[in-house]
Amino acid sequence: MCIERVFLGGRLVDNLNIFWHNGKVEYKDRCKHLKQKGMVLWFTGLSGSGKSTIAVQVEKELYKKGFVTYLLDGDNVRYGLNSNLGFSNEDREENIRRIAEVSALFKDAGLITLVSFISPFRKSREFAKQKIGSITFVEIYVKADVETCAKRDPKGLYKKVKKGVIKNFTGISSPYEEPENPDILLDTRELSVEEAANKVIKFVLNKQR
């Protein structure tokens, strides 16, 4: 643990001169402390495109490199914070609004925050970018056409859509608005998980300089 001690006015003090003006520990203090910049890696793409698989791989590699990270995904958000939301367009927007707000908090805490949700609407992703700050928001489009995703169907959801069990399914009965200018494009019909993850890690390391 790493508090520098410096001479200030002839006294040896903790080098925490930054935050005393408003009394709170602030973003820049946390980054200094963690020796990294807080940022949000926002993975977007169809169900089955490979978002979560890649995000998990990226987190593992960043962890191995010593970074402090956190992954927000369906497992820890849909059944917790957003358990009172359904799949109407209104609820989908509120779902992403809350995720954007929470990831902004995690970024503010200095963490490299990975966010893995379909997030189909441009408007919601734009809101996230505004909220998080365009410099620290990284839009990662995990691209695969709906036929490829339906073939992979890791959660068996496309089958359920075919049977009519699921309605409002992104890419089929509900729109997916492709990112127009993502920071990173990962075409998973061409890239392996490792290749895709490496592309992201390279981008992150560059941003962390």
Query: Residue ranges for the binding site?
Result: 45-52
Angle, vertex CA 101, rays to CA 193 and CA 80, nearest 5: 75
Catalytic residue (choose from 103, 116, 119, 124) = 119
**3-state DSSP: the chain helix, strand, coil percent, rounded to 5?**
45, 20, 40
- Residue 198 beta carbon to a second copy: minimum distance, rounded to whole angstroms: 17
Q: What is the DSSP letter of 152?
A: H
Rounded-to-integer distance, Cα 50 and Cα 193, Å = 8
Bridge-based pairing of strands 5-8 and 11-14 is: antiparallel
Which is closer to a second copy, CB of 79 or CB of 135?
A: 79
Which is closer to a second copy, CB of 102 or CB of 146?
A: 102
Active site residue 119: yes
Binding site membership for ATP: which residues?
45-52
Cβ atoms within 10 Å, residue 86: 11
Q: Given the rule CB under 8 A, which residues bind a second copy? A: 1-3, 14, 16, 19, 23-25, 29-30, 33-35, 56, 59-60, 63-72, 76-77, 80-81, 84, 94, 98, 101-102, 104-106, 108-111, 131
CA trace torsion 8, 10, 14, 18 (10° rounding)? -10
- Residue 161 beta carbon to a second copy: minimum distance, rounded to whole angstroms: 26
- Residue 80 beta carbon to a second copy: minimum distance, rounded to whole angstroms: 5
Which is closer to a second copy, CB of 107 or CB of 143?
A: 107
- Residue 50 beta carbon to a second copy: minimum distance, rounded to whole angstroms: 14
Which is closer to a second copy, CB of 67 or CB of 141?
A: 67
Residue 200 and residue 41 in contact, taking contact as beta carbons nearer than 8 Å = yes
The residues annotated with a catalytic role in the active site are 119
